[in-house]
C-alpha cells in the first residue's frame, strides 16, 4: 500500500535528502493556468463569474453570493449544542495562544535626542478563506479569525464555497462559527475565483479588496494565492495536507498508523510519511495502515493518499538522520514519537507545527490544542511559518531625531552619500544647517 524508501547505509547530504523527499506528482505549478483563468474571469465579470463558477464547480448556483444576516442567525439557532461547546472552548484556547504572538513595542535610544521605536501595526482589511470541499472546516474559521482579531485587524471578510446540500448556502456550521466570532461579511464563493475576488474586489457585491488573504485550501486555492501575491499579501500556500512522524522502536504502531491515516483522509494528495530507524516498527505500522485504511470511513481516499508518490515509510540508520530528512521534507505537521522526543527536537529546524510524544497527536492541533492549524504545506515550512497573530502585523520603525542628534551624524551621512554617488542625500541633511554656515 505504501512505498518504502531505504536510506540505511548511506551518508545523505542535504541535497540528496531533498532529492529523496516524496512529493505528489501534482503540484501548485500545474494548477496555475486553471487558477489564473478563474481569477481573470472574476476580475472581468464579477458576481456573474462567481455564480457561474459555483454552478460548474460546486454544482449549485447560490441565491446570494453575499450572505444575508438571516442565514447566519438561522445557522446559529441550529448549531448542535455539543459542537457549540467544543467551538467555544477552541476559541478560548486559540485566543490565549494567539495573544502570546503579539510582540510588544520597543523604543531604543540610539544617542541623545536620537530615538527609534519599533511598533507592530495590523493590516486594516483581511480576506479569510475557509474550504468546504471533501470536508467541512468550521475549525478553520476559528484558526483564521482569532489571530486576526487578536492582532487588531479592523475589517474581516470570509469566503467559503456554496454547498449543494444546503441550497447554495455556505455550510451552516461555518456560518454559525463565524456568527459566534462576530463576522458578518461572508461570501458564498470558493476556490481560485474566491481568492481572486478577495484580492481584487467585486464592486457589484460591495466587496472591497483586502490587503491580505489567509487560509488553507486545495491545490487550486494554493495556486491562486501564489498568483495574487503582489496585489495582496498571503499567509502561505496552504494546499493539500501532510504529516511526517519520526518514531523509534518504542513507539506504538497503532498510534503512528492512526495519525498517518488521520491526515490521509483529508485528500487523495495528502502526504503521510513515517521516518524510523526501526525496521520492526516500520513493518508493524505498515500492517496497521492496511487494517485502518480498509475500516476507516473515507477508505478509498485514504488508500489513494497512502499509495501515492507523496507518502512513504523511510528507513534511516539513526534518529539524527531522521531529523535531517524531516528538515529536508519541511513538514506541515511533525510528530516525534520516540523514547526521548526532546533530544530529537533539538535537531529539528523546519516544521509548521511540532507534536511531541504519544499524547500530542496532530488531531489535537487541528482542533483544541490552542495552536493554529493553518500551516505551510508542500515543503514550505523550510522557509515560512504557520498562521498566527504575527501574520497580520507589520513591523514599522519610527525614527525621531532632534536637531542636535541629526547634526551629530550629518558628516557621516554626507560621506556615505558621496561614496554612493547620491549627493542629494547629503544635501537634504546639510540644507537643515545652512544658517550655521
Active site residue 373: no
At what angle are helices 32-45 and 219-228 packed, to 10 degrees?
60
Average pLDDT over residues 60-73: 98
Does the pLDDT of residue 437 top 60, yes or no?
no
pLDDT at 219: 86
**Percent over 90 (pLDDT), the chain:** 92
Strand partners for 214: 128
Q: Which contiguous run of DSSP H or E holds residue 160?
A: strand 155-160
The CATH number, out of the four listed (3.30.70.1150, 3.40.50.1980, 3.30.300.30, 3.30.390.50), of the domain defined by the range 3-21+239-385: 3.40.50.1980
pLDDT at 389: 98
* pTM for this entry: 0.92
CB burial of residue 280 (10 Å; 0-12, 13-18, 19+): exposed
Backbone angles phi, psi at 125, to 5 degrees: -140, 130
The model's pLDDT over 313-341, given as tens digits with 9 standing for 90+, comes to 999 999 999 999 999 999 999 999 999 99
Question: Which one is catalytic: 237, 268, 332, 335?
Answer: 332
Q: Which of 82-91, 192-201, 377-386, 387-396 has the lowest mean pLDDT?
A: 377-386
The whole-angstrom distance between residue 343's C-alpha and the CA centroid of its chain comes to 27
pLDDT band at residue 1, thresholds of 50, 70 and 90?
A: confident
Does the pLDDT of residue 258 top 60, yes or no?
yes
Buried (b) or exposed (e) across 139-172, using 16+ Cβ within 10 A?
Answer: bbbbbbbbbbbbbebeebbbbbbbbeebebbbbb
Domain range annotation of the chain: 3-21+239-385, 46-102+121-235, 402-431
Binding-site annotation, residues for substrate? 241, 263, 266, 333, 366, 420, 425
Q: Which cell is 367 given? A: 482542533
pLDDT at 170: 97
E-strand stretches of 221-367:
233-234, 242-247, 271-276, 312-315, 333-337, 353-356
Domains 3-21+239-385 and 46-102+121-235 share a fold: yes
Question: Which one is catalytic: 333, 347, 349, 412?
Answer: 333
The CATH number, out of the four listed (1.20.1530.20, 3.60.15.10, 3.40.50.720, 3.40.50.1980), of the domain defined by the range 46-102+121-235: 3.40.50.1980
Binding-site annotation, residues for Zn(2+)? 263, 266, 366, 425
Strand partners for 314: 5, 275
Average pLDDT over residues 117-141: 93
pLDDT at 13: 92
Active site residue 332: yes
Mean pLDDT score of the chain, rounded to an integer? 96
Does the pLDDT of residue 436 top 70, yes or no?
no
pLDDT band at residue 3, thresholds of 50, 70 and 90?
A: very high
Give CA separation, 105 vs 153, 296, 386, in Å. Answer: 17, 49, 22
Amino acid at each position: 500500500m505504501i512505498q518504502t524508501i531505504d536510506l540505511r547505509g548511506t551518508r545523505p547530504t542535504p541535497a540528496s535528502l531533498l532529492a529523496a523527499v516524496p512529493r505528489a506528482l501534482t503540484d501548485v505549478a500545474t494548477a496555475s493556468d486553471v487558477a489564473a483563468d478563474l481569477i481573470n474571469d472574476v476580475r472581468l465579470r464579477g458576481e456573474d463569474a462567481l455564480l457561474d463558477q459555483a454552478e460548474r464547480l460546486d454544482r449549485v448556483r447560490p441565491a446570494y453570493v453575499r450572505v444575508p444576516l438571516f442565514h447566519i442567525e438561522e445557522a446559529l439557532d441550529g448549531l448542535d449544542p455539543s459542537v457549540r461547546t467544543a467551538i467555544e472552548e477552541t476559541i478560548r484556547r486559540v485566543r490565549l495562544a494567539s495573544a502570546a504572538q503579539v510582540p510588544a513595542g520597543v523604543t531604543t535610544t540610539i544617542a541623545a535626542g536620537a530615538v527609534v521605536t519599533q511598533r507592530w501595526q495590523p493590516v486594516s482589511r483581511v480576506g479569510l478563506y475557509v474550504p468546504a470541499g471533501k470536508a467541512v472546516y468550521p475549525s478553520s474559521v476559528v484558526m483564521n479569525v482569532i489571530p486576526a482579531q487578536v492582532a487588531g485587524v479592523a475589517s474581516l471578510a470570509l469566503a467559503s464555497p456554496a454547498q449543494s446540500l444546503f441550497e447554495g448556502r455556505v455550510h451552516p456550521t461555518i456560518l454559525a462559527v463565524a456568527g459566534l466570532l462576530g463576522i458578518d461579511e461572508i461570501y458564498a464563493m470558493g476556490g481560485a475565483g474566491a481568492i481572486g475576488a478577495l484580492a481584487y474586489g467585486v464592486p457589484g457585491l460591495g466587496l472591497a479588496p483586502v490587503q491580505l488573504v489567509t487560509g488553507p485550501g486545495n491545490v487550486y486555492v494554493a495556486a491562486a494565492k501564489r498568483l495574487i501575491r503582489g496585489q495582496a499579501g498571503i499567509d502561505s500556500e496552504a494546499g493539500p495536507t501532510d504529516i511526517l512522524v519520526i518514531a523509534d522502536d518504542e513507539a506504538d504502531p497503532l498510534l503512528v498508523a492512526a495519525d498517518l491515516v488521520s491526515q490521509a483522509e483529508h485528500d487523495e494528495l495528502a502526504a503521510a510519511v513515517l521516518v524510523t530507524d526501526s525496521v520492526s516498527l516500520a513493518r508493524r505500522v505498515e500492517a496497521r495502515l492496511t487494517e485502518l485504511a480498509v475500516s476507516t470511513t473515507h477508505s478509498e481516499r485514504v488508500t489513494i493518499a497512502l499509495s501515492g508518490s507523496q507518502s512513504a515509510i523511510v528507513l534511516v540508520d539513526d534518529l539524527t538522520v531522521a531529523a535531517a530528512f524531516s528538515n529536508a521534507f519541511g513538514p506541515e505537521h511533525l510528530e516525534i514519537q520516540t523514547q526521548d522526543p526532546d533530544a530529537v527536537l533539538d535537531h529539528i529546524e523546519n516544521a509548521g507545527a511540532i507534536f511531541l510524544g504519544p499524547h500530542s497527536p496532530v488531531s489535537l492541533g487541528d482542533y483544541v490544542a490552542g495552536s493554529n492549524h493553518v500551516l505551510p504545506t508542500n515543503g514550505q515550512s523550510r522557509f515560512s511559518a504557520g498562521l498566527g497573530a504575527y501574520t497580520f502585523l507589520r513591523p514599522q520603525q519610527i525614527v525621531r531625531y532632534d536637531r542636535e542628534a541629526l547634526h551629530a551624524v550629518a558628516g557621516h551621512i554626507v560621506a556615505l552619500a558621496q561614496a554612493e554617488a547620491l549627493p542629494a542625500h547629503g544635501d537634504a541633511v546639510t540644507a537643515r544647517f545652512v544658517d550655521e554656515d
